[in-house]
Structure 1
């Protein structure tokens, strides 16, 4: 007997017979005595019919049934229902069904793309607890293939919510409301940009009302008003809130751009988010911090009995989309620095700080800068020669603790190759913006005291009063966390909150990159070649 090898991507067990499969599968016998999992006497079993139904429904999970040769397998199983298949044909069908189901389960659990291809640097192997071959064996032994599918799906409430949302947006398709673009917005006197404000008439109101009704932000029985007012304004505010826009009821360029995205395009956005969830390690530890970059939000949560309980949530500021993007990775927070120094990165010193100091030497004293030599010696006197030494790498510049310090009064350290960390900031007004990509790559947090309380929970003596005292003390102090906390920098452009689907802009283009990678990859079914006409 041949030993079966667990399926790996693009390795299909073509032509395999169930004689190659390990027990305890419910084996049948072909006419020549060979064992098969899916046929009996050359005819398809109920399990074979269930398998092709599951493969054809792979799109419900954002997957592509063509990757599993679903239509050809369905035709072959239907043929086996009509008349017994010859031994060789039955063996081919049996092996192909097994390979397709294993590939489907593997893709459902682990995803179809290696995240490192699109620049995610997650260290944790996704779903290391799930093996497609073993799950299929167990399901066949019990006669319940759907059990294997449920076990393969990411064990996250958000995944199930997105799956339901995908069905809704797929059902919408691309309705007539998107067959033509919204007409130009009114241009207020003295303004160059068009915008629609409450109380104004607009020729696009019928189309606006229709789109809001299709998307569920406006009740279907609301008539088109003569002016932009009432329930339609409220519906626009609801739409803006679900799309990461300023919730002001004013229809401007950003709101129109979001309204122009068709339900079919939103369905694809949901599919891409489901793919990311398959390899984003969201539940790797009992306590975690997750920053969702496109949403500009941080959540600190605990996992209790397999359920996520959010303990703290706050706004964040992330790296600029244009040139200083925050990388996606996971690391472990091990330290907190109270009243930290800011060691200015060489690139910032070279491109920003040194040129500013040459133009405005008073900036040195105002900001509390100092030079630091390789041996640790500190020099607070500014000279042109020392600035040259900074550019040559012989000195570096750092900012002393204080109210103007760029890191604020606290820094959360999770050592990583990119030197990314969480910190507070004196520029708190930026947290009020809807779009918050203003940093050089590090992540500024809105509520540093609350975050410190979360990560220092259980550390004797570190209550809120002491945390605030250490932040305001003016003396740089590093504290090692008693229990390190994993930090995940994630990227999800679709979430479900309070039963409503929220969409966010593809800030860094990662969705577009994932979409291109999925479309450009060779289909496993195409690579192996279908054994059926």
Structure 2
């Protein structure tokens, strides 16, 4: 019975040259004896054995199998580092050439990639499964000749159970050279095929980890070398966000709706309101029932139960919950289930790539949600409404990216300073807008607390700042973080705007509700002595700069979906049109 195998060029010639090749700061050493003994069929000495796989012969098999480009990489290779830590023994193959439990766990999890909104194509799972199948076939073939199959045979030239005869010893038959050769060939093939499967499984883990958690590099080495149990590691790859699992459940639900439900369309020439009746209302009730917002009878009458269902639908789609079905509500009602599923999948992937995964304490702003959250030790300590940049404005290219001039950018930085009673330094663009507001009133700027500076705008007028006070649009608190967009987080003197559902009104900076409370939390957690002593300053117009001893990461993101505390998916949509632009760019 022939054993299928995957043919690959040997790299012995490469190893002869690269006996001690350093990749980056990591050195991967293979003894010269390992190469010469490989050619003679003997196992190389040395090397610590990992649990399960014991034979030192694994080392030469691994060195023969690894791609040459790994050795020449300018940066350390994750799998090579892990093999070195693992004593040059396999990660996923046992001493009896079977898959270890970790391999089965990895294959199961990676095999469900689509359920987690991952792209399965780059994982190349079928290729890995083929190598596993070849190992199983090689093992079955070898078992017929080698009943006590194990990698721990000390001398492969001696069949298991046979002992070489001492000179002159009666009754012991000499070893059959043909049997020895056959056994040797089977073992050689087993080691080769087993290592090929092990390398493919290791590559799968790295690819899967890269999609699940782009910041998992160090833990990949630990998982491969056994310092983190595989089941624990695979769980660790999930974001700690409380929104992750509910979004996965929502993804499954909307994919099921897209595949198995004929979506009811809602058509009406104008806004539908309570008290109306007819086929359009009947269609509305059917459509609301499809997403479980309405559970009553299909009556065709826009009654109180239907109105409450509409309000629930609007709240779940960040629409002003007025209970009437206008244009925006109709657009969301008629959005295909497939498109909603894709929006959820996009949100899940952005959640996995979020820089919030790198910190235990941070401020997170989600632009489409118009919300800020302050996290510490993985828990949300405070939530705030925010006002972000307007969706409108002419398109400009900023740092290589096209966006509209008023839009708030996504970024990652660190809040370094809190300013009490900040001055507002007027930018070039806003200065021109103020000129239009001032018109021919020569006292406008003085009356509103503006002060001329010595420096000039590009067109020659003196630059302006506005003194602290009730007319200052920064309010009483400003949070500074370095960034190339010159945006910042601040209080506001127009707090009524926080009551709006859609809150994109600024020129790009972020206005935050309950700014004093947020400042107090940041200062308190920073153990700053001024945390409980800001009131005297707030009651004056004195400007006070408070440096944080430990800057707090701030992450501004653009996630189109999330979940509320009950696990209900909330669709925020695409207020800036960025998702639509990216989809069109991809064709």
TM-score in terms of structure 2 length: 0.68
Equivalent residues in 2 for 1:71-150, closer than 5 Å: 71-74=126-129, 77-78=132-133, 81=136, 84=140, 87=189, 92-110=196-214, 126-127=215-216, 130-138=218-226, 145-150=230-235
* 1:278 aligned counterpart, secondary structure: helix
Larger radius of gyration: 2
Is 2:282 aligned against 1:206? yes
Residues 418-444 of structure 1, C-alpha deviations (whole Å, 9 max, x = no match): 222222222222111111111011111
Is 2:468 aligned against 1:401? yes
Determine the structure 2 residue equivalent to 1:190.
none
- 1:512/1:302 CA distance change after superposition, 3 Å: same
Equivalent residues in 2 for 1:264-279, closer than 5 Å: 264-279=338-353
Q: How much has 1:494 moved relative to structure 2? A: 1.6
Separation in structure 2 between the aligned mates of residue 406 and residue 132 of structure 1, nearest angstrom: 48
Separation in structure 1 between the aligned mates of residue 48 and residue 282 of structure 2, nearest angstrom: 63
Determine the structure 1 residue equivalent to 2:236.
151
- 1:289/1:209 CA distance change after superposition, 3 Å: same
Determine the structure 2 residue equivalent to 1:262.
336
Aligned mate of 1:236, from 274, 296, 310? 310
Determine the structure 1 residue equivalent to 2:496.
429
Separation in structure 2 between the aligned mates of residue 152 and residue 38 of structure 1, nearest angstrom: 19
Determine the structure 2 residue equivalent to 1:383.
none
Q: How much has 1:285 moved relative to structure 2? A: 4.5
Would the aligned equivalents of 2:131 and 2:196 in 1 still touch at CA under 8 Å? Answer: no
Separation in structure 2 between the aligned mates of residue 254 and residue 468 of structure 1, nearest angstrom: 44
Determine the structure 2 residue equivalent to 1:528.
none
Separation in structure 1 between the aligned mates of residue 364 and residue 494 of structure 2, nearest angstrom: 22
Residues 252-272 of structure 1, C-alpha deviations (whole Å, 9 max, x = no match): 111111122233222222222
Equivalent residues in 2 for 1:332-371, closer than 5 Å: 332-350=414-432, 352-371=433-452
Determine the structure 2 residue equivalent to 1:123.
none
Aligned mate of 2:547, from 477, 480, 489? 480
Q: How much has 1:273 moved relative to structure 2? A: 1.7
Determine the structure 2 residue equivalent to 1:172.
257
Equivalent residues in 2 for 1:181-196, closer than 5 Å: 181-185=265-269, 194-196=270-272
Would the aligned equivalents of 1:103 and 1:132 in 2 still touch at CA under 8 Å? Answer: no
Determine the structure 2 residue equivalent to 1:45.
99
Determine the structure 2 residue equivalent to 1:501.
569
Q: How much has 1:196 moved relative to structure 2? A: 1.0
Structure 1, 395-404 or 34-43: larger mean CA deviation: 34-43
Separation in structure 2 between the aligned mates of residue 153 and residue 504 of structure 1, nearest angstrom: 23
Determine the structure 2 residue equivalent to 1:118.
none
Structure 1, 153-162 or 435-444: larger mean CA deviation: 153-162
Determine the structure 1 residue equivalent to 2:41.
none
Residues 340-370 of structure 1, C-alpha deviations (whole Å, 9 max, x = no match): 22110112224x1234445444432332222
Determine the structure 2 residue equivalent to 1:316.
386
* 1:316 aligned counterpart, secondary structure: strand
Determine the structure 2 residue equivalent to 1:70.
125
Separation in structure 2 between the aligned mates of residue 151 and residue 509 of structure 1, nearest angstrom: 33
TM-score in terms of structure 1 length: 0.75
Would the aligned equivalents of 1:217 and 1:239 in 2 still touch at CA under 8 Å? Answer: yes
Q: How much has 1:296 moved relative to structure 2? A: 0.6
Aligned length: 457
Determine the structure 2 residue equivalent to 1:58.
113
Separation in structure 2 between the aligned mates of residue 4 and residue 38 of structure 1, nearest angstrom: 25
* 1:138 aligned counterpart, secondary structure: coil
Separation in structure 2 between the aligned mates of residue 72 and residue 206 of structure 1, nearest angstrom: 51
Q: How much has 1:512 moved relative to structure 2? A: 4.3
Q: How much has 1:484 moved relative to structure 2? A: 3.6
- 1:26/1:210 CA distance change after superposition, 3 Å: farther
Residues 466-507 of structure 1, C-alpha deviations (whole Å, 9 max, x = no match): 534423412333333455433222222221212211110122
Q: How much has 1:25 moved relative to structure 2? A: 6.6
Residues 11-69 of structure 1, C-alpha deviations (whole Å, 9 max, x = no match): xxxxxxxx9x99637449999x9476656899863655554433221112211222222
Separation in structure 1 between the aligned mates of residue 252 and residue 22 of structure 2, nearest angstrom: 35
Is 2:414 aligned against 1:327? no
Determine the structure 1 residue equivalent to 2:77.
none
